[in-house]
Amino acid sequence: MKVKVTYNKDANELWSDVFGSLGGFLDHSWLHSIHYYTGSWEKHGLVELTIDNPAPELDESNLHMTKRLKVEDIAEAYSKLMNDNYTHCKVCDLDDPDACTADAILQTAVYGELVYG
């Protein structure tokens, strides 16, 4: 039997945990650019990511795509990883994300799952 437990986290804290933890985001080969329409890396808003198309063999003319995210998308991905008991290198902490955890949260928000390990 499973029960649902609610976990509250400040929206700006969650946002900055993810986008602030990326540091040299270009180290993540699937993520090419970040454009903040509103907000910043510290304050939630609307962001557009230019990312790899995970299935370029289906459309070779479209190797990259864009995805817009709000804090609710980040929260949903965060929740999914918590439910999946996500860990990476047995040191990543969803309460204090580092670059690899931020990468996992963004991949989950963008693709619905971890595509690039």
| Closest C-alpha among 47, 86, 101, 51 to residue 70 | 47
CA distance 15 to 40: 9
Q: Specify the pLDDT at position 24.
A: 54
Beta strand ranges found along 56-106 (DSSP E): 64-69
pLDDT tens for each residue of 91-113? 455 666 677 788 888 999 999 99
The residue whose two tokens read 């070779």 is: 60
Assessment of whether the complete model's pTM goes beyond 0.85: no
> What are the residue ranges in the chain where pLDDT is below 70?
23-28, 56-61, 87-97
**DSSP one-letter string for 34-64:** EEEEES-SSS--EEEEEEE-S-GGG-TT-SE
